[in-house]
Structure 1
Amino acid sequence: MNVLGKLIIIGGAVDKGSFTEATFDANVANNLNFFETGILRRIIRESKHNEESRIEVITTASVIPREVGPEYVKAFEYLKAKNVGLMHIEKREQCSDPEVLARIKAADVVMFTGGDQLRLTSILGGTKLHDIILDKFQNEEFIYAGTSAGAAAASNNMIYQGSSHEALLKGEVKITSGLSLIQNVIIDTHFVHRGRIGRLFQAVVGNPRVLGIGLGEDTGLLITGDGKMEAIGSGLVILVDGRNIKDTNLTQVELGRPISINSLTVHVMSMYDIYDLNTHTLEIHNSQYFSPLITPVLGEDDK
């Protein structure tokens, strides 16, 4: 990948608690599983200046930006982040505004909220703001973080439509271009709760070079410039690798007809597991074959 920046992509439906609750602090232990699993805290820790980093929360994808945005600002501040801003970028013209561009240039982290990924890419795509983000990601210690729509838009290929229950009918999954921070992957979110594995199967069978990434709720990936992806959060990450597909009827069936696929490879990741995009290998953090709790019995030939 040869980039200095990092991606932190999150599956959505995160349990960050609600700072609108009057008794939030009293009930913090009950509604802050999000913090305990460490996704927001990890964003702060991975950033250039930690709690001093400049973080910009961007609500472009959301249809309720003035409700969603302040929740994330308060969440970061609760974790001792001292320099958090909020940007409601709702029109393409704003992406050329000198004040907006100056804030993005000064940011160590941009955090894109959930919503509609097509809204996000149609507003930001090809603008000066988009160019600055790509340049910073390539050449600086910069973090692009996104949840739900913000995660789905990070790759060069982006799923923007397709029902879960009809996902393996030809033509049901719609794909367009994303923001292109990472190549040769395609990302789907809310993956476990909404049963979207069929969407990812169809996305991958159409171009088996692309690795499908399905992010479960309250789960994410930290992707570094050396091509390593670490699972963070409380749930699951599903990877769909189509490089070994042997056969499919994709080009033979009519639109709306079921798709057959022979030999998809599927990996399941949980917290601390690492997948290498260069070697296509998965390292399971707590593997049963390398448990420090088990002392091997040595034979005479092993001593």
Structure 2
Amino acid sequence: MSSFWSRLWKVTLSSAFALSASVLVVLALVQSVTPAHAQSSTDPQWNVMLTGSELRLCSSMNSDYCSSTDWINANEMRTARLFQLTDVRRREALRRAVWPRERDEVREELSVVLEEMVDFFARGVVPEYRLVERFRSRAYLDLLMRLSEAEYDRVLDNLEMPRLEGLDEHVNLAANADYSAEFVTRFVAMAEDQQQRNGREGKPLILVVTAGERDTFRSVDSHVAAFKQAGADAVWLPADVAVRAAREANECRALESYRRQLSGNYDRDRVHPSRHAEQLAYCSNVAQAEQLIQQASAVFFTGGSAQRLFRALQGSAELALLQTRFSEGKLAVGGAGAGAQAMVATNMLTNGHSRDAIRNGAFAATAPMPGCDLDNTCPRGLNPNSLTYEPLGGFGMLRNLIVDTDVSHRGRQGRLLRLAASTNAPLAIGLDRDTAMLMNSASGAFELIGQDGALFLEGAQGNDSMLAATFHYLRSGSMGRIESGRLHTAVLAAQQPQRLESITTRFLGDTGVYDNLDSVCRGSQQLRLLQETFVLQMLASEDSEIERTAGRCQVTNGVIGVAIQAP
């Protein structure tokens, strides 16, 4: 073993031994953690759901998320966003008032492209999938790569047609292709349990908060419809950064202007007039938020940007009331993707790529916009891949830990390690895509459901060139309890063997760790991956507990380390 890995082993092995007496106390855990649907004195009473990715709800607008589409009727349902390539809409998308002068060359090139698209489509109205497909064609791919995300979104916003009245988005949970439908159903069950504990009858009310999304109108219909289809009442809580700024300035009539300034979001009043009117009424009626929150049994935060969620709600009257009702045991909460990251009390992760995080560290700063390097809008000293976090935290529901999402599929182990070490976080949890974690915030009990699992990092530490921690990787069906910032107990659920279709060893922003984790569970019980000047190693020992399943196994009390090698 190299001197580096010898030092890593000594640094982390002591914490792994300290955990051995408590991890996998199976009998005690089984007595205290029962399935979520059980109604007994040992019911864990889940009050938090964290999902490792945004919900991918099968609907007439999102047929890619459906296992079957024969139920979709384009004459009776809203099936796509529609765009107009008329002279008026193209002029609006390219007007100088919203394009900086230094981007004139790109703007002029884009003007030519949009004129060519008019001839190509030979019609004034184009569905979204066809317009995006054309933008991504070989003819325009170079231009697309030079557009920042904000510029691309600005163009689509201004080209979008108003929503057609009478055609609504339809959700079909029974046809969902992944576990999102199960997550919706389980969250409604949590809301029903909460409703009973609150002494109320009838369907529970779930509030849907889309404040983390750039376009806070876009996913409202699908989420509200999904929760209703699963048996709850559901309404939209129209809070977002524009509402907050407009209220503080006493300028609710200027909502559209605030959307442009704060979210880079254009023409929503034209495209979604009914949603705009609803949000305008909410902005003007401060008491409406209190009424809705007092009536609710659960609140669900959709994905988008944790930074945007923070700016929309931190320090607001809405969040204060949500926190009060949650702490009193009167409210269940759920978060998807960025919504899950925002549940923490301190050090909320807001941005970053593992490569940049390992090399350059973590910054307590505002998250840079995607593509900010293309239009020179990055904050000083940061780039689109910089690891940033909000030290004040998010919503405060979960203490003594930080949360990251989509970890295995997007190779985020490095950024999670770096943030945990930089902030001295006792526990960091990285959730996988299409996976949810049900929790009882008071007892620390949890259960994993869905497709994959969760990575737990404890006692992370490091320096400019090395990071290390004790790790546990648990998969769907496994249960446990978190106490004092560590995994106190765990029961590893038996898993079906998996046949991996494709495997990579790239672990910086890719699935290398996820694809090769099984190496830790057999043979030499160690995994070593190299990419560029970075090396990652994961080790098991006699103190580790392993559930050996072909494909992807489970491990407790392992050691993980990442280092930058000398060139």
Q: Same fold (TM over 0.5)?
A: yes
CA distance in structure 2 between the aligned counterparts of 1:87 and 1:199, rounded to whole angstroms = 32
Alignment match of 1:286 (pick from 489, 494, 497): 494
Residue in 1 that maps onto 2:56: 15
Contact 1:19-1:74 within 8 A present in 2 as well:
no
CA distance in structure 1 between the aligned counterparts of 2:457 and 2:178, rounded to whole angstroms = 28
Give the match's secondary structure for 1:17: coil
Residue in 2 that maps onto 1:167: 357
Amino acid at match of 1:42: R
CA distance in structure 2 between the aligned counterparts of 1:186 and 1:165, rounded to whole angstroms = 19
CA distance in structure 1 between the aligned counterparts of 2:70 and 2:424, rounded to whole angstroms = 48
Amino acid at match of 2:301: F
Q: Deviations over 1:157-181 (max 9, x none)?
A: 2011212332212234212121111
Q: Write the mapping of 1:1-303 to structure 2, written as runs, cut at 5 A.
A: 6-20=47-61, 24=69, 26=71, 31-35=176-180, 38-47=182-191, 48-49=194-195, 52-81=203-232, 83-90=233-240, 91-92=243-244, 93=247, 94=283, 97-156=286-345, 157-169=347-359, 170-171=361-362, 172-176=386-390, 177-224=393-440, 225-242=442-459, 248=462, 250=463, 258-262=464-468, 264-278=469-483, 280-286=488-494
Give the match's secondary structure for 1:168: helix
- Report the TM-score, using the length of structure 1 for normalisation: 0.81
Q: Evaluate the alpha carbon distance shift between residue 66 and residue 18 of structure 1 in structure 2; reply closer, same or farther with a 3 A threshold.
A: same
CA distance in structure 2 between the aligned counterparts of 1:289 and 1:194, rounded to whole angstroms = 24
Q: Percent sequence identity over matched residues?
A: 23
Higher share in helix:
2
Q: Who wins on radius of gyration, i.e. which is larger?
A: 2
User: 1:66 Cα deviation (Å)?
Assistant: 1.7
Q: Deviations over 1:66-88 (max 9, x none)?
A: 2211111121122232x110122
Q: Deviations over 1:193-232 (max 9, x none)?
A: 2211111100111244431111111111111021112112
CA distance in structure 1 between the aligned counterparts of 2:332 and 2:310, rounded to whole angstroms = 18
Contact 2:208-2:301 within 8 A present in 1 as well:
yes
Q: Evaluate the alpha carbon distance shift between residue 217 and residue 14 of structure 1 in structure 2; reply closer, same or farther with a 3 A threshold.
A: farther
User: 1:242 Cα deviation (Å)?
Assistant: 1.6
Give the match's secondary structure for 1:14: coil
Amino acid at match of 1:39: F
Contact 1:186-1:211 within 8 A present in 2 as well:
yes
Higher share in strand:
1
How many positions carry a matched residue from both structures?
275
Contact 1:197-1:214 within 8 A present in 2 as well:
yes
Amino acid at match of 1:147: A
CA distance in structure 1 between the aligned counterparts of 2:213 and 2:195, rounded to whole angstroms = 28
Amino acid at match of 1:272: G
Contact 1:18-1:24 within 8 A present in 2 as well:
no
User: 1:30 Cα deviation (Å)?
Assistant: 5.2
Contact 1:5-1:142 within 8 A present in 2 as well:
no
CA distance in structure 2 between the aligned counterparts of 1:49 and 1:196, rounded to whole angstroms = 37
Moved more, 192-201 or 19-28: 19-28
Contact 2:55-2:180 within 8 A present in 1 as well:
no
Contact 1:14-1:217 within 8 A present in 2 as well:
no
Give the match's secondary structure for 2:354: coil
CA distance in structure 2 between the aligned counterparts of 1:73 and 1:259, rounded to whole angstroms = 46
Q: Deviations over 1:252-303 (max 9, x none)?
A: xxxxxx53134x111112222123111623221338999xxxxxxxxxxxxx
User: 1:65 Cα deviation (Å)?
Assistant: 2.0
Structure with the larger RCO, 1 or 2 (CA within 8 Å, 6+ apart): 1
Q: Deviations over 1:86-112 (max 9, x none)?
A: 122122234981011210111101111
CA distance in structure 2 between the aligned counterparts of 1:95 and 1:143, rounded to whole angstroms = 27
Give the match's secondary structure for 1:41: helix
CA distance in structure 1 between the aligned counterparts of 2:358 and 2:437, rounded to whole angstroms = 26
Q: Evaluate the alpha carbon distance shift between residue 273 and residue 105 of structure 1 in structure 2; reply closer, same or farther with a 3 A threshold.
A: same
CA distance in structure 1 between the aligned counterparts of 2:426 and 2:472, rounded to whole angstroms = 14
CA distance in structure 2 between the aligned counterparts of 1:102 and 1:24, rounded to whole angstroms = 39
Moved more, 93-102 or 109-118: 93-102
Amino acid at match of 1:226: S
Question: Which ranges of 4 or more aligned residues in structure 1 deviate by more than 4 Å?
Answer: 21-25, 27-30, 287-290
Structure 2: which 5+ runs fail to align? Answer: 1-44, 73-171, 197-201, 248-282, 363-385, 496-544, 548-567
